[in-house]
Structure 1
């Protein structure tokens, strides 16, 4: 096993973890805080997720000898941001996280449920995801309107670096955010000194509360988004790189680690989709049988980054919230454009996808249930109606 280790895999694993963490931790923090988490609880969730996905990646990669990359559900965090706080606050959200995790385990072990998720029409799933993401994607523009001297450097860094190296665009925006915070934002006296107390990792247990509203508003949409936009594409990335693992056990494992992280504020752990290509591709090693070490190293790096989550959260908290929302929005632009294009690609499902997108993007809740669920339901009914009309014409 150690003979398979290489410097190339070491570098790619560290790069994978840095890109994965830096490009989306802002989305996770914003999502957790949107459903009622305090700064301490959001930092705890970030720590729990990082450690859980790090250990999960190490265990799965070493046992299968395949480059199994693990990530948190970035689209799921964006879903939380759009859902907002529901009655009962963060404990009800944590209850929904646990239900979602159990559903992921069942989807891995019980094939009919996995097939049912896979059978959700792709245009509707993508339209729901696009509707969830669009609100956060407005944040960079709002940040510029809030203060051009603060917002413009973040956006321009993303554009300039992304034009040459797309992978580094969001880390560049994050670096610009740090510079704006350091040299532009007024930081109260003693605030930086207080960061020293945040260097020690802390996790905060949250007793879950289970409600029907949280089940329908958060758990079910989070499960669908995580499976449709993370777990299933994660398997596809592995297959593209000529790896053929059994999906069920991998799904169940991510669900198990999601269960372990949920009481500490973690919303969902899943197979990586974007960063998976980094560990599974040729850049990780010329020999495909040795690339699993890149995923192992990435897992170790995620654990280290997770232990620093308290300091990261405290540092981010010194800035106006719209600035970190801008970084989060820039991190989701590619995901939004991809999901929107997939949603409206086919003319025959375009109207149903549009309804799903509009209802979800409206952010309006009915009966305490978020728009993501109603959007998927409305689009599904429209699709069924169209099929019924077509059948009657024959």
Structure 2
């Protein structure tokens, strides 16, 4: 009679904890920046971070236990980056943005129920979708250098730690850079005599916002947010799981993430989805040699996320007292790999290069027309250019 060794039993649990820690610390600054860009106050941003973490934490526990597969969920980091790119162009209200988040959740539910909707998204050429994402990310990925020019003494330690960690253990590069940023912020607070420290709300509280229906927000936020989440998160998430021998339960996953987005939207959450990059940590060899037990990593990650949800108020408070642009620099580092991947995907195929180029520059320019942001117009321009040039 054989028994499973203690170290083997603990491997999926540890892998789940690592998945949650890496996923949370590597991108929460992008989420905060995105929510603030479309009108959230610090309290509302903390509520949004709380809502996102709780909904997808519960969702991944339910899906992993139900399917016995390591199904991991996450907030849409590319979607948050899309919102952050609207910082200087969004003219609507926070309630209108919340209404757009709600629409995205309904669209995700519909994607699981109506196969034709998923097929329609699949018909958007990948280079066009990737070019839109790359254009949205460009400004954010410039933040580390912008911050370096504006405040070199605060930014240099972050960049140095990030480069060193990338050399020796890339998985922990962003968490290490984030810890360094917190140290720098603490030093600045001490040097300023604690200015702004006592005024912050450190404990997260759900903040309800009644959604409002705004056509410009639906077209300018909901549609691009839905497209970028499907193309950059859900579809790759399915591919990652398949690479490790697991088929994604598509309809249940879309139902859970869509309903979770609908529930979290009035509390400030933008959208939740299948995890892509972090999914490999829970579904891969790090979760143990026994593939039938890796679902435990999904449960472990979900539980860890629920614990981390309690930190949302602290993290938003720290972001509020940070020097301007410092945490945006960390966000830029977090998005750099995604930006490079999007650029490669956009321009790899010769026949798509001009349409993808037009899509990229339109999104990067952040043009706003009729109250609708550049991400939507980038898709329109790219698809029109592709249609015309393909006929020629």
Q: Distance in 1 between matches of 2:193 and 2:296?
A: 44
122, 131, 134: which is aligned to 2:126?
A: 122
- What secondary structure, in the 3-state scheme, does the structure 2 residue paired with 1:102 have? helix
Q: Number of aligned pairs?
A: 385
- What secondary structure, in the 3-state scheme, does the structure 1 residue paired with 2:273 have? strand
Task: Give runs of aligned pairs for residues 49-198 of structure 1, distance below 5 A.
Answer: 49-84=52-87, 86-185=90-189, 186-189=191-194, 191-193=196-198, 198=202
The answer to whether the 8 Å contact 1:343/1:350 transfers is yes
Q: Distance in 2 between matches of 1:173 and 1:138?
A: 16
Q: Does 1:355 align with 2:358?
A: yes
Q: Distance in 1 between matches of 2:18 and 2:106?
A: 31
Q: Distance in 1 between matches of 2:65 and 2:193?
A: 47
The answer to whether the 8 Å contact 1:109/1:249 transfers is no
Query: Match of 2:377?
Result: 374
Structure-1-length-normalised TM-score: 0.95
- What secondary structure, in the 3-state scheme, does the structure 2 residue paired with 1:209 have? coil
Query: Match of 1:329?
Result: 332
278, 281, 290: which is aligned to 1:278?
A: 281
Query: Match of 2:341?
Result: 338
Q: Distance in 2 between matches of 1:49 and 1:383?
A: 36
Structure-2-length-normalised TM-score: 0.95
Deviation (angstroms), 1:307 = 1.6
Deviation (angstroms), 1:320 = 1.4
Q: Distance in 1 between matches of 2:61 and 2:249?
A: 17
Query: Match of 1:42?
Result: 45
Q: Distance in 1 between matches of 2:193 and 2:304?
A: 32
Q: Distance in 2 between matches of 1:8 and 1:295?
A: 12
- What secondary structure, in the 3-state scheme, does the structure 2 residue paired with 1:71 have? strand
Structure 2: unaligned runs, 5 residues or longer: none
Deviation (angstroms), 1:179 = 1.4
Deviation (angstroms), 1:109 = 0.9
Deviation (angstroms), 1:181 = 1.1
